[in-house]
C-alpha cells in the first residue's frame, strides 16, 4: 500500500480508482485536493524528484487555504485518508495518523504541553490508529492514542488514550461502547491483512 497512497486515498474518497477520477478530484474537489498535494509533497521530499518539493509545498499551502484547513505537508498520514466536508480541520504536524482514517469538519488534532516541576517542557501529539472515524468538531490533544477501529463522536474532547474499537462521546470524552464496529466507507485492506485488491 505504501507505494499506492494516492490510489488508496482516491478509492476511499470516491469508491473506485482511476487516473482520470484522481485528477478530476484534484482539480474540482476541495477536500481531496489538499490530500492530493500532500502526497505530492511527500513523494518529492527525497530522491530524484526533490527539486519539485518546494513548488509542491507552495501548491499544498494554496490547496489547504482554499479548503479552509491546516494540514502540514510533513504530517505522517497512512493510506486511505479521507476528509469529509473538511472546513475547519486543524492537524498539528506532530500528529500521526494511520490508514483508513476519516476526519469530518472542525476536527482538531493538537499538541499539548506539560510543564515539569523543574520547568522543563514536554510536548506531545496524538496518534490516530487505523480504521478510525472522527466526527465533526471533535478535539483530540496531547500524547493520546486513539485505538484502531474507534469512533469519536462529534464534539468529543479527548485527552486520554482510547482502547481499540471504542465509541466515544462527550466533553470530557467518555467511552460508551466497547467492541464497536468501525465506520470505514470504501475500506482499503491493510498491509497486515490477507485481503488483496487488484484495483489498488
Q: Is residue 196 part of a domain?
A: no
- Residue 153: CATH number of its domain: 2.160.10.10
Say if residue 168's pLDDT is above 60: yes
Does 195 map to a domain? Answer: no
Written as nine digits, the cell of 97 is 495518523
- Give the domain extent around 153: 2-177
Residue 92 lies in a domain: yes
- Whether 114 maps to a domain, the answer reads yes
Q: pTM (2 decimals)?
A: 0.89
The answer to whether residue 199 sits within a structural domain is no
| Sheet order of strands, 90-91 included | 90-91, 108-110, 139-141, 157-158
pLDDT for residue 198: 41
Tell me how many domains the chain contains.
1
Work out the average pLDDT over 119-139.
95
Q: For 58-110, write each residue's pLDDT tens digit.
A: 999 999 999 999 999 999 999 999 999 989 999 999 999 999 999 999 999 99
The answer to the question of residue 56 being in a domain is yes
The percent of residues in the chain predicted with pLDDT above 70, rounded, is 94
CA distance 95 to 101: 13
| pLDDT exceeds cutoff 70 at 2 | no
For residue 25, give the H/E element and its range: helix 19-28
Which residues make beta-bridge pairs with 70? 90
Q: Is residue 90 part of a domain?
A: yes
pLDDT for 132-163, tens place per residue? 999 999 999 999 999 999 999 999 999 999 99
**Are β-strands 76-77 and 96-97 bridged in parallel, bridged antiparallel, or unpaired?**
parallel
Q: Could you write out the DSSP letters of every residue in 146-167? A: E-TT-EE-TT-EE-S-B-TT-E
Q: Which residues pair with 109 in a beta bridge?
A: 91, 140
Q: Given this model, what pLDDT does residue 192 score?
A: 60
Q: Is residue 143 part of a domain?
A: yes
Amino acid at each position: 500500500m505504501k507505494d499506492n497512497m494516492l490510489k488508496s486515498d482516491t478509492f476511499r474518497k470516491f469508491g473506485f480508482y482511476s487516473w482520470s477520477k484522481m485528477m478530476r478530484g484534484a482539480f474540482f474537489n476541495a477536500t481531496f485536493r489538499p490530500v492530493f498535494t500532500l502526497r505530492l509533497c511527500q513523494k518529492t521530499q527525497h530522491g530524484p524528484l526533490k527539486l519539485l518539493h518546494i513548488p509542491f509545498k507552495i501548491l499544498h499551502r494554496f490547496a489547504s487555504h482554499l479548503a479552509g484547513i491546516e494540514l502540514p505537508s510533513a504530517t505522517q498520514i497512512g493510506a486511505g485518508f479521507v476528509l469529509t466536508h473538511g472546513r475547519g480541520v486543524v492537524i498539528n504536524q506532530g500528529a500521526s495518523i494511520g490508514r483508513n482514517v476519516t476526519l469530518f469538519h472542525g476536527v482538531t488534532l493538537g499538541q499539548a504541553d506539560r510543564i515539569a516541576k523543574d520547568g522543563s517542557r514536554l510536548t506531545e501529539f496524538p496518534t490516530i490508529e487505523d480504521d478510525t472515524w472522527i466526527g465533526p468538531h471533535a478535539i483530540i490533544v496531547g500524547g493520546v492514542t486513539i485505538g484502531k477501529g474507534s469512533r469519536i463522536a462529534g464534539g468529543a474532547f479527548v485527552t486520554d488514550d482510547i482502547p481499540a474499537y471504542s465509541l466515544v462521546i462527550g466533553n470530557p470524552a467518555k467511552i460508551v461502547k466497547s467492541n464497536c464496529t468501525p465506520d470505514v466507507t470504501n475500506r482499503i485492506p491493510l498491509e497486515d491483512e490477507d485481503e488483496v485488491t487488484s484495483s489498488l
